[in-house]
Amino acid sequence: MSALTFTPKSDSAYNIDCRRLTPNILANLTAAQIENLSLLNTKNSPKITDCFDISGTDANHIIFKNTHHQLDYIGHKMSHGTITIEGDCGDFLGANMRGGNIICHGNANDRVGDQMRRGLILIAGNAGDYCGSRMIAGTIGIYGNIGSNTGFAMKRGTILLTQTPKLHATIQDCGTHTLPFLALLFKSFSAFNTPFNALKNLRVQRYAGDLACDGNGEILICNTNVSA
Amino acid sequence: MRGTRVIITALNHKWAYHAANAMTGFATSVIGCGVEAGIERELSADETPDGRPGISILMFAMGSKVLMQQLETRMGQCILTCPTAAAFAGIESDDQISLGKHLRYFGDGYQTSKLIQDSNGKSKRYWRIPVMDGEFLVQETTGMVRAIGGGNFLILATSQTAALHAAETAIEAMKQVPNVIMPFPGGVVRSGSKVGSKYPKMFASTNDAFCPTLKGLVNSELSDEIESVMEIVIDGLSFDDIATSIRVGIQAICDLGEVSGVRRISAGNYGGKLGPHHFKLHEIMGVASS
């Protein structure tokens, strides 16, 4: 089975809410049922086919092709499967995520992983503001640049970065450490074709936070230049 | 019996052995120690989950409850405490028992868990417990399987040194067999036992029929030339594993030839009533020769 693939028909004048395009909702639906599905669960919602060309059948692996920054809420509340985004995406990528993997080969806008509880989000490009906001647990990796207020109100979870962002006052510097669990985490990244596969060094700068929310979350700054 | 396997890794093999030796210490017999445990083999860095040198250990107990209790206690006292050590599940099973699940509370609220996918895409939970040397990494659970303990054979030789040399030779060969351990010191037992005793409170006592100094006093199994007997006890994950181990061990002794001083190989079968599995040495060696 080939991956269920959504290709936006054209640049939209409006943002498109993709929260229903997840393995959870689309699993066990036929191609015809997916084509007739409304984009939102509202009376005047456009159908999926109004906004996307659809191909493939395997709803456990969803691909968004030729994407742009107006696709919001990709992977919302998903609990299993993999979503691959071959381009940029909008706000709230992986919001309320409960499991599974989201791989974004482009950039993401604000609020990546908002209230995320489990799962993995890897972004090869940049991410906007409030990445990991209100995060409950899980793992977010951003290989490129990141905006402000990273990890705002995060309770637990790991945000993996390659560059130190400007962090807000309630994120605390814990120093530089060698963390054994990163060997397992990096090994798990090898299942996906991303720049994160180059990470080998287990020595990271660790920031804990958000101290306003118990501070059990962490932001780890990886060194991409030094080998293990 | 129930058995489990734990993979212990550390900065280098030296510290992995420190952890593994502590973990498998005082674990020769379920009768007195609760569990029987031993080092199965050394693991290279590319064989372990975290890419560090490691040791594979096997642990066996008469029931799941004892195994769980002993595993938790030994994890807490021997692995958590050992510098740079980490512990991972070494066996897949639907029956999961705690490895770090309860140990995590040592973190006093600073412990964190990570769900990380393995190469098969299956998520496994690990606990990161802050300790003074950095972080202690431990998998939440490991698998528990049905296993077999107490496979054994006896080496009857013309002297103590001959019996011990033959036993050592057998143990070296048997260490190459996967899924088994020989839990006694150096893999060898000199105090084989029989069921029962003249003393009512004793469940087991010395195997007088195989004690060379009692020849003439008891109904001895030993001929005049036998001066020493050593026993090798094997625990394994399956009947075939133990049978293979016995065959390899006996063959190694036979390869030493007559000059080794070994005159006979026997086994303690306790009237065939101690457990459902019978390792019939002729059949086991017959398989080898066919």
Whether residue B76 is predicted with pLDDT greater than 70 in this model: the reply is yes
Contact flag A184-B110 (C-beta cutoff 8 Å) = no
For residue A225, the model assigns a pLDDT of: 66
**Statement: residue B288 has pLDDT above 70:** no
A226 pLDDT above the threshold of 70: no
C-alpha to C-alpha distances, B160 to A34, B28, B73, nearest whole angstrom: 79, 22, 37
Give the CA distances from residue B102 to residues A132, B59, B105, B106, in Å, rounded to whole numbers and listed in that order. 29, 19, 6, 8
Please give, rounded to a whole number of angstroms, the shortest distance from the CA of B116 to a CA of chain A: 6
A122 touches chain B (CB under 8 A): no
Which residue on chain B is closest to A228 by alpha carbon?
B51
Cβ of A181 and B134 within 8 Å? no
Residue the block writes with tokens 């398989």: B287
Choose among B110, B112, B137: nearest Cβ to A180: B137
Instruction: Match 């770090």 to its residue by tokens.
Output: B100
Q: Rounded CA gap, A138 and B264, in Å?
A: 62
Contacts of B128 in chain A (CB under 8 A): 179, 181
Write the pLDDT tens digit of every residue in A148-181. 999 999 999 999 999 999 999 999 999 999 999 9
Those residues whose C-beta lies under 8 Å from the C-beta of residue B201, and which sit 6 or more positions away, are none
Residue A206 is predicted with a pLDDT of 97
Mean pLDDT of chain B: 94
Mean pLDDT of the region A48-67: 94
- Helices first, then strands: H and E counts in chain A: 4, 13
Higher pLDDT, A12 or B166: B166
Contact at CB, A99 and B126, closer than 8 angstroms: no
**Of the partner residues A99, A156, A188, the one whose CB lies closest to the CB of residue B112:** A156
Q: Does A45 touch chain B (CB under 8 A)?
A: no
Tell me what the mean pLDDT of segment B28-57 comes to: 96
Q: How close is the nearest chain A Cα to the Cα of B39, in Å?
A: 23
Check residue B268 and give its pLDDT: 83
Instruction: Report whether pLDDT(B60) > 80.
Output: yes
Q: Any idea which of A39-43, A90-94, B10-14, B219-223 has the lowest mean pLDDT?
A: A39-43
Arithmetic mean of pLDDT, A196-207: 95
Backbone angles phi, psi at B135, to 5 degrees: -130, 135
Instruction: Check if B184 contacts A (Cβ < 8 Å).
Output: no
Q: How confident is the model at residue B134 (pLDDT cuts 50, 70, 90)?
A: very high
pLDDT reported for residue B273: 66
Contact in structure between B166 and B262 (CB atoms under 8 Å): yes
Banded pLDDT at A228 (limits 50, 70, 90): very low
Can you give the pTM of this predicted structure?
0.93
Question: What per-residue confidence (pLDDT) applies to B290?
Answer: 42
Cis bond before residue A210 (omega within 30° of 0): yes
pLDDT score for A27 = 92
Interface of B with A in 57-116 (CB under 8 A): 86, 109-110, 112-116
How many C-alpha atoms does B113 have within 13 Å on its Cβ side?
19
Specify the pLDDT at position A14.
86
Distances (CA, A) of B61 to B11, B26, B33, B146: 30, 13, 9, 10
* pLDDT > 70? residue B125: yes
Q: Model confidence over B184-243: pLDDT tens digits? A: 999 999 999 888 899 999 988 999 999 999 999 999 999 999 999 999 999 999 999 999
